[in-house]
Structure 1
Amino acid sequence: MRGTAVTEHADKVQAALKSSEAARSALVASWQRSSHHHLDPAHRTPPKRLTESELMFARQRIEPLIAVAQASLDRLYLAVGGVGCCVLLADRDGVPVERRGALADDETFHDWGLWTGTVWSEESEGTNGIGTCLVEQRPLTIHRGQHFLTRNTALSCTTTPIFDHEGKLAAALDVSSCRADLTEGFVNLIALAVGDAARRIEADNFRLAFPDARIMLAPVAERSAGALLAIDADDLVIGATRSARLALGLTAESFAKPMPAADLLGGSVVAERELREAERAVLQRALARAGGNVALAARMLGISRATLHRKMNRLDLHRAT
């Protein structure tokens, strides 16, 4: 980047920091945070990179999430890779631990720091897609001149947070490009693709965390595919995704004591019917696998024979078996 452009961008950032825009603009608020980290928008120091051993440790911390994300990362890259974009899965510290990109673009992206092991936290790189997304915990795009550091203003980064099975921030999914002809319309399409992939990763990770539970959609107004509940064999809610927690007003304390699914779902006719049908299907499968042997089916479900009989009576399953 030419010296004039560097100066213009740095001057623009400094002028915004001296104004009152931070109270009204999320972008300027991020620039302000970047300034508080003692970053200079004009500085040219290359991005920080982890050592191989540090990167290995970062990967190990979220290895289950990386494993379940593979198919979604592949699908996302198929959608955006042909137009000069790379896909990055970063941990909650802003370090990409998994990447998809075209071999022909590798040298360019490596030079820009769009690579595994590069530190993209807001503290290290100022306003950027990954770092700012992790701070604000919301989907966003940081497009070219919106970056804090001048050396990053050729990049366009669209990022969505990923939350774990307890609703805690776990990672960020990013699609980045350094193409100058990336249009606003295409950036919007990228944002939709990134959001869909992130929700799919969350759902797959949630199912992995509760392998023996029934997973059902929470009866929320938007019927979000990401609003999932995990319900055990005794009809107790034992888990909820962040979307479901927000929609139903659940907190970590909500799971400290048994929570009957029917109570949580508030008597919704649709929800009650879905819950009943889901439970009936689980019992029918267990009884079928046990050849109709109630005692064996109960052991397979991890409940007592008496509990299974009560459920069968309530669901009128005796005639079916």
Structure 2
Amino acid sequence: MSPTISLPLNELRRRFFAGQPLPGQALPPSILHSWQRCRSLGLPVGGLGGERLTDRELRERREANADWLEAARPALAGLFEQVSASGLVLVVADRRGWILDECGDIPSLDKAERLALAPGMDWSETSRGTNAIGTALAAADCARVRGAEHYLERNRALSCAASPLLGPQGQLLGALDISGPGRKLGDAQWLALLAARGQIETRLLEEAACRGWRFDLHDDPRLLDSPAACRLAFDDDGRLLAANRAGLALCGLEPDGWQARRFAALFGQSLEHWLRRHGQSVGLMEIGARRLSARLRPPPGRPAAAAPAGRPMPEPRPPMPEPRPPMPDGLPGSLFPTALKLLEADIPVLLLGETGTGKDRLARALHAASSRRTAPFVAVNCAAIPEGLIEAELFGYQAGAYTGASRQGSKGRLREADGGVLFLDEIGDMPLGLQARLLRVIQEREVTPLGGGAAKGLDIRLVCATHRELRGLVAAGSFRADLYYRLCHYPLVLPPLRERGDVAAIAQTMLDGMGAARRGIALSPELARAFRGYRWPGNLRELSNLLSTLLALSDDGALLDIGHLPAALREDMAAQGRAVGDQAVAELLRRCGGNASAAARALGISRSTLYRRLGKTAK
């Protein structure tokens, strides 16, 4: 790859308009392509002028876009509050680039007016050259244009950021734009614009899909209700009604490229077949090389188990018993009883350990063994929820508490756990501003939803977990010391898998728990030795995922050996080496409490060989 050559933007403009070649990667590709489009149109650098729409013409354009403008109003109001204080202008344009509305403080509006950035003006690329509104609409993609990146000389005082707005069938509706002096337009305003766009598109999607079957897909089943999920809506005949941006991409549809796809054509099975197999439960859907979690929900007001209208009901399946969460294997014997005593005494349980050591399994096992086993267990991954949503997710909100909030409000995860156990996973990743509210809830045992309302009493037992070093976070100022000391009564450390004794024995126990014993599947001695010598960077999660995959691929009666492992894992094991030196032998003996027989079994060698390595005489 050739190195990027940095030249002043004025020099790049001079070379471009003189027809001279530009160094590679000297300009963002979106800007260069826009300049090339404008030049191919013969647009002069001074612009073509352009008349303003009459009041009647502007009113007609607003009426033609009234449906989505009305839906956008709450989100735009929230976005305006965030950008106006920065001396910026919020602009809304239709799909052709005609400005429908703008808002900002008076000085900012005056400056925008002088640049013709005002309602009734045409800011398409064909009229104004490279600019955030016109370029975003021309490319059907987000655009940021700063200073002299504008094609027209007169717009060099502006910096702009814009995003096209898509309807529920991928149609291009218009654009949202933030404009103003370059120094005032930063990443915070850009993110606020994208958030407002997401709220508007979500609201439009919900309105269009209110009578359809909702189908959500995501790599992570915990994020099926998040804005990041692929969201599709189908009618009773399995015809696609609406989709969000991620859903359009999943279906291979470009903006403004809607096609009447069907559920069966997209996923290789009918909507009724999915409903018969999974109901409203989460199932797996394979799409090419991707394996996604998916869930189908009926239209509002339709009975949960109802088939599509006019179709026979699927045969009900007997309910599957909810599996009890497996206990993390190889834990120190006193760890689980200690944690359970803390939980029952209403002392926060803080679980520490590397990623994949089974902290979530232990939390579920504590709930299942506690006096609150019949009450709710609510798990919240503090690292998986977007920072802007986690406060509403935890504490709930009143109807209308913020732009895009559900009309019914939400009780929040804290109140969902009332009477039971709340598990806050990855507590070390909780935003600093939210930690003070959590501390107050723990101390006062009541929660106040966003948007006001009376405080609600709360009765929960708390389990927290993190792989982060909390004391270091406290010292760095990214975790509150008062919350740390409120949670850290008696922290419990889950050791990594490599320190839990005989990994092969743990693996065989896990296999048997997965049904391997009934199928006659076991580890070969060769594979057992490989397991004992490997460091397992992914810990228990890595081992569990590997074993479940091996079971799925193996025939009954199979003896699992090295050849059954994925090639990448075999290479990792070979690179690491399976020979254990004297120092490692001594360390294993220490972990086994000086029990030479147990250490020898873990290494797959005799006691005499173990003593020989240690330079001792067997007794």
Q: Residue 309 of structure 2 aligns to which amino acid in structure 1?
A: I
Contact in 2 for aligned 1:237/1:258 (Cα 8 Å): no
Segments of structure 2 that go 5 or more residues without pairing to the other structure are 1-7, 276-282, 320-619
Question: In 1, distance between residues paired with 2:78 and 2:208?
Answer: 23
Number of aligned residue pairs: give it.
284
Do the aligned partners of residues 157 and 22 (structure 1) sit closer, same or farther apart at CA in structure 2, a change above 3 Å counting?
farther
User: Pairwise mapping of residues 127-146 of structure 1 onto structure 2 (< 5 A)?
Assistant: 127-146=130-149
Contact in 2 for aligned 1:13/1:31 (Cα 8 Å): no
The 3-state SS of whatever aligns with 1:20 is coil
Residue among 266, 270, 290 paired with 2:285: 266
Residue among 142, 146, 166 paired with 2:169: 166
Where does residue 193 of structure 1 map in the other structure? 192
Contact in 1 for aligned 2:239/2:260 (Cα 8 Å): no
Do the aligned partners of residues 52 and 258 (structure 1) sit closer, same or farther apart at CA in structure 2, a change above 3 Å counting?
farther
Larger Rg: 2
Where does residue 42 of structure 2 map in the other structure? 38
Where does residue 181 of structure 1 map in the other structure? 183
Do the aligned partners of residues 243 and 49 (structure 1) sit closer, same or farther apart at CA in structure 2, a change above 3 Å counting?
farther
Residue among 136, 145, 150 paired with 1:147: 150
Matched, 1:110 2:113: yes
Contact in 1 for aligned 2:133/2:177 (Cα 8 Å): yes
Contact in 2 for aligned 1:95/1:119 (Cα 8 Å): yes
Question: In 2, distance between residues paired with 1:82 and 1:195?
Answer: 18
Question: In 1, distance between residues paired with 2:119 and 2:143?
Answer: 21
Contact in 1 for aligned 2:160/2:177 (Cα 8 Å): yes
Contact in 2 for aligned 1:66/1:98 (Cα 8 Å): no
Matched, 1:206 2:209: no
Question: In 2, distance between residues paired with 1:171 and 1:315?
Answer: 47
Do the aligned partners of residues 127 and 252 (structure 1) sit closer, same or farther apart at CA in structure 2, a change above 3 Å counting?
closer
Contact in 1 for aligned 2:232/2:243 (Cα 8 Å): yes
Q: Residue 279 of structure 1 aligns to which amino acid in structure 2?
A: P
Question: In 1, distance between residues paired with 2:10 and 2:292?
Answer: 58
Where does residue 88 of structure 1 map in the other structure? 91
Shift in Å, 1:144: 1.0
Question: In 2, distance between residues paired with 1:52 and 1:214?
Answer: 42
Question: In 2, distance between residues paired with 1:99 and 1:111?
Answer: 14
Question: In 1, distance between residues paired with 2:97 and 2:81?
Answer: 24
Matched, 1:279 2:298: yes
Q: Residue 21 of structure 2 aligns to which amino acid in structure 1?
A: S
Shift in Å, 1:255: 1.9
Where does residue 13 of structure 1 map in the other structure? 13
Q: Residue 255 of structure 1 aligns to which amino acid in structure 2?
A: R
RMSD of aligned C-alpha atoms? 3.5
Question: In 1, distance between residues paired with 2:48 and 2:239?
Answer: 54
Contact in 2 for aligned 1:96/1:118 (Cα 8 Å): yes
Where does residue 67 of structure 2 map in the other structure? 64
Segments of structure 1 that go 5 or more residues without pairing to the other structure are 1-7, 288-297
Question: In 2, distance between residues paired with 1:173 and 1:164?
Answer: 13
Identity over the aligned pairs, expressed in percent? 24
Question: In 1, distance between residues paired with 2:261 and 2:210?
Answer: 18
Matched, 1:303 2:303: no
Contact in 2 for aligned 1:96/1:116 (Cα 8 Å): yes
The 3-state SS of whatever aligns with 1:32 is helix
Q: Residue 171 of structure 2 aligns to which amino acid in structure 1?
A: K
Do the aligned partners of residues 44 and 95 (structure 1) sit closer, same or farther apart at CA in structure 2, a change above 3 Å counting?
closer
Do the aligned partners of residues 164 and 212 (structure 1) sit closer, same or farther apart at CA in structure 2, a change above 3 Å counting?
same
Do the aligned partners of residues 279 and 109 (structure 1) sit closer, same or farther apart at CA in structure 2, a change above 3 Å counting?
same
TM-score w.r.t. the length of structure 2 is: 0.41
Structure number with higher relative contact order (C-alpha < 8 Å, ≥ 6 residues apart): 1
Where does residue 4 of structure 1 map in the other structure? none
Query: What CA deviation, in whole Å up to 9, does each residue of 1:9-62 have, x standing for no partner?
Result: 887534224133498533122112222232222x27655422222222222222
Q: Residue 20 of structure 1 aligns to which amino acid in structure 2?
A: P
Contact in 2 for aligned 1:21/1:28 (Cα 8 Å): no
Q: Residue 113 of structure 1 aligns to which amino acid in structure 2?
A: A
Where does residue 316 of structure 2 map in the other structure? 314
**Relative to total residues, which structure has the larger helix share, 1 or 2?**
1
